[in-house]
Structures are given as structure tokens and as C-alpha cells.
């Protein structure tokens, strides 16, 4: 009987000792981190892109330009604005074959324009419009975070933010970001569909106001650029017709298409707003099913058919009517 009592007591003290050691050990160890905090479980930026079917064209472009090691480097610290397949298709890269045909250096320049050499999560972006941030391409990206928490880069909305990777973060965008090929005049001159606009700029210079020089200066400027068809609808369908027009009239009309001192991306346009122009009048912005801009002298609004064409000194939006003051 005595032996059984001693045995029970011994067991009691052993259990008590083990419980005490367990709690002491837990206090020394601290809380066990959740598994998603384990860096070893994260993928690199390249591994995420390569394993996601939405990025198959991005994967092909990165491989073609030799940028796989840079995006797979676990010691790197990068932010990548990753275009989806739909974004590449909209930019003219509809298949992997299209990627393969593109000049390597051009493609590499475009891809590097999507990368920032630091890890920046959405919540770390300042609540401001068009904050310039250097890309690995060397040209700035213009980043906006609204009070509602939406993020835009060069006017393009981030549709998925903060994909956390071992070597940085991915923000998904639905358009390919194109680096500026030159200033506003150079950008317009490179587009055959804006040749009459360029002719009007040159003709307006006969007033003594060098419009081309102004639009080639630092700016920044925002230009609503009418297409050749828009000029034709306004009775100025050829270079000869433009050269026969009154230069003062052209100067007044062209100045009405320019917002001076601001780089206004599509994301910055406000529905129902009246925007002051370089000419002195205002333009009316409407953001319904389609975005439009209307001049005071126009009976109908002009549709904005393409947005956010980046120049080194501003941005161009393409419209389908000439705006009249």
C-alpha cells in the first residue's frame, strides 16, 4: 500500500515537472511564426511569373531578353509592374511568335521600364498624383495612389497589388507601359495618323510663336491630339489645306488643345470637370461609357480614342474631333 502511494506521488511530480519545463521552454522560444512568414516558402518574381498562365507572354519576353537571372535573384529587391497576356496582346504582341520577332534591345528597354530597383508595396506609395519614380530603364514612371487606395502607373491601374515574392513584389497591370520615345513633337511626328497635326503646328509658327519649340520644351504638357480624320472632318484634310489656312486661326485652335504645366493621365481626368487650356478657354471632360472632351465651339463632344501616350515632356491623348474654342 505504501509503495503504491509513493508511486502515485512520483508520477504526479514527474508530470508537474514536465508541464513546468514545457511552459518555460515556450516562454524562451517565443511565438511560432505562421508558415507564410517563412521566406523559404516564397517564390522569386521569375518563379511567380513563370508558373502563372496569365503571364505566359511576359515569361517569353523575359526569357528572350536574358532577364531571367535578374528576376530570379533571391538577393534582389525589386518592384515589378507585370503586364498580363491581354496587356501584351493589346500592345501588338499577340503570340510568343510576336515576342520572338521583336528586336531584343527594344523589348528589353520596355521590360526594364516595368521594374523599380526597390521593393515598394502599395501602402508605401505616397498618396499623391504622378510621383516620379526611376525605373531600371532609366526613365521615370509616374505613380499615383488615391485616397481610396487605388494605384496607377502612367495612368494605368494596378489591378492586383502586393504579390509578395522572396526578392520583391509584383503589381499586376492590364497595359504594357511604353517608355517615352521623345518629346511631344517627336512623338506626334512618329505617328502617321497625326501628320496633319504636325503640319498645323509648323504652319502656326508663321505667327512668330514657335509652337513646335514650345511643345519641345520641358513642359510638362498634356495634348489632346486630333487625328488626320478629325482634321479632314474640320475641312483641313490635306497639308495644302492647312498651309492655306490663317496661321493665327491655327495657333488659337492648337493652343486650345494643350494643358500647360501638367502631365494629366487618363486616371487624373475628372467627370464633369472644366479644364483650363493654354489658349485661355476651358474644355469639358465627361467620363461615361466612353471618355470624351468637348470644346465650347463644338456641337458634340470628341471621343478620346487612345490615352496616356507618354512623351519625355508630357502626355498625349488621341481624339476624333478638332476642338473649337
CATH of 184-319, one of 2.30.180.10, 2.60.40.10, 3.90.1150.10, 3.40.640.10: 2.30.180.10
Which pLDDT does position 30 carry in this prediction? 36
**Coil/strand/helix, residue 4:** helix
| φ, ψ dihedrals at 211, nearest 5° | -65, -40
Q: How far is CA 85 from CA 23, 53, 168, in A?
A: 53, 8, 21
Residues written for the chain: 325
Which pLDDT does position 26 carry in this prediction? 39
Which pLDDT does position 28 carry in this prediction? 37
Q: What is the mean pLDDT of residues 56-70?
A: 97
The pLDDT tens digits of the residues spanning 259-277 come to 999 999 999 999 999 999 9
The pLDDT tens digits of the residues spanning 85-129 come to 999 999 999 999 999 999 999 999 999 999 999 999 999 999 999
The answer to which of 13-22, 226-235, 279-288 has the lowest mean pLDDT is 13-22
> If 0-12 CB within 10 Å is exposed, 13-18 middle and 19+ buried, where does residue 245 land?
middle
Nearest CA among 285, 274, 281 for reference residue 307: 285
The residue ranking higher by pLDDT, 224 or 15, is 224
CATH 2.30.180.10 domain residues, the chain: 37-173, 184-319
Cα separation of 256 and 258, whole Å?
Answer: 6
Question: DSSP letters of 288-322?
Answer: SSSEEEE-TT-SSPEEEEEEEEEETTEEEEEESS-
Residue written as cell 484634310?
237
Which pLDDT does position 73 carry in this prediction? 96
What is the pLDDT confidence band of residue 14, given thresholds at 50, 70 and 90? very low
What is the pLDDT confidence band of residue 17, given thresholds at 50, 70 and 90? very low
The answer to which of 20-34, 97-111, 137-151 has the lowest mean pLDDT is 20-34
Which pLDDT does position 247 carry in this prediction? 97
Q: How far is CA 147 from CA 62, 96, 126, 131, in A?
A: 34, 39, 10, 14
Which pLDDT does position 22 carry in this prediction? 34
Residue written as cell 503646328?
201
CATH of domain 37-173: 2.30.180.10
The pLDDT tens digits of the residues spanning 158-185 come to 999 999 999 999 999 999 999 999 999 9
Cα separation of 185 and 194, whole Å?
Answer: 10
Is the pLDDT confidence value at 32 over 60?
A: no
The pLDDT tens digits of the residues spanning 34-43 come to 333 444 478 9
In angstroms and rounded to an integer, the radius of gyration of the C-alpha atoms of the chain is: 29
Amino acid at each position: 500500500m505504501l509503495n503504491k502511494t509513493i508511486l502515485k506521488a512520483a508520477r504526479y511530480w514527474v508530470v508537474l515537472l514536465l508541464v513546468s519545463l514545457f511552459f518555460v521552454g515556450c516562454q524562451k522560444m517565443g511565438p511560432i511564426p505562421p508558415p507564410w512568414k517563412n521566406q523559404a516558402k516564397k517564390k522569386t518574381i521569375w518563379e511567380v511569373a513563370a508558373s502563372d498562365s496569365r503571364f505566359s507572354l511576359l515569361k517569353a519576353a523575359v526569357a528572350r531578353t536574358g532577364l531571367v537571372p535578374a528576376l530570379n535573384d533571391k538577393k534582389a529587391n525589386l518592384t515589378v509592374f507585370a503586364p498580363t497576356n491581354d496587356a501584351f496582346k493589346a500592345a501588338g504582341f499577340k503570340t510568343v511568335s510576336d515576342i520572338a520577332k521583336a528586336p531584343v534591345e527594344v523589348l528589353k528597354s520596355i521590360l526594364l521600364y516595368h521594374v523599380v530597383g526597390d521593393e515598394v508595396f502599395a501602402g508605401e506609395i505616397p498618396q499623391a498624383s504622378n510621383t516620379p519614380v526611376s525605373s531600371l530603364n532609366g526613365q521615370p514612371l509616374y505613380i499615383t495612389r488615391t485616397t481610396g487606395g487605388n494605384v496607377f502607373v502612367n495612368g494605368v491601374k494596378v489591378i492586383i497589388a502586393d504579390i509578395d515574392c522572396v526578392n520583391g513584389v509584383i503589381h499586376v497591370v492590364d497595359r504594357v507601359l511604353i517608355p517615352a520615345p521623345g518629346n511631344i513633337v517627336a512623338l506626334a511626328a512618329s505617328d502617321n495618323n497625326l501628320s496633319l497635326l504636325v503640319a498645323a503646328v509648323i504652319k502656326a509658327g508663321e505667327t512668330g510663336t514657335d509652337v513646335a519649340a514650345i511643345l519641345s520644351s520641358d513642359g510638362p504638357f498634356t495634348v489632346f491630339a486630333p487625328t488626320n480624320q478629325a482634321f479632314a472632318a474640320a475641312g483641313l484634310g490635306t497639308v495644302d489645306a492647312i498651309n492655306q489656312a490663317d496661321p493665327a486661326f491655327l495657333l488659337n485652335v492648337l493652343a486650345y488643345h494643350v494643358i500647360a504645366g501638367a502631365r494629366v493621365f487618363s486616371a487624373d481626368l475628372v467627370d464633369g470637370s472644366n479644364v483650363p487650356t493654354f489658349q485661355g478657354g476651358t474644355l469639358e471632360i465627361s467620363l461615361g461609357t466612353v471618355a470624351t472632351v468637348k470644346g465650347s465651339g463644338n456641337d458634340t463632344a470628341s471621343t478620346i480614342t487612345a490615352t496616356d501616350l507618354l512623351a519625355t515632356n508630357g502626355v498625349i491623348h488621341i481624339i476624333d474631333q478638332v476642338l473649337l474654342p
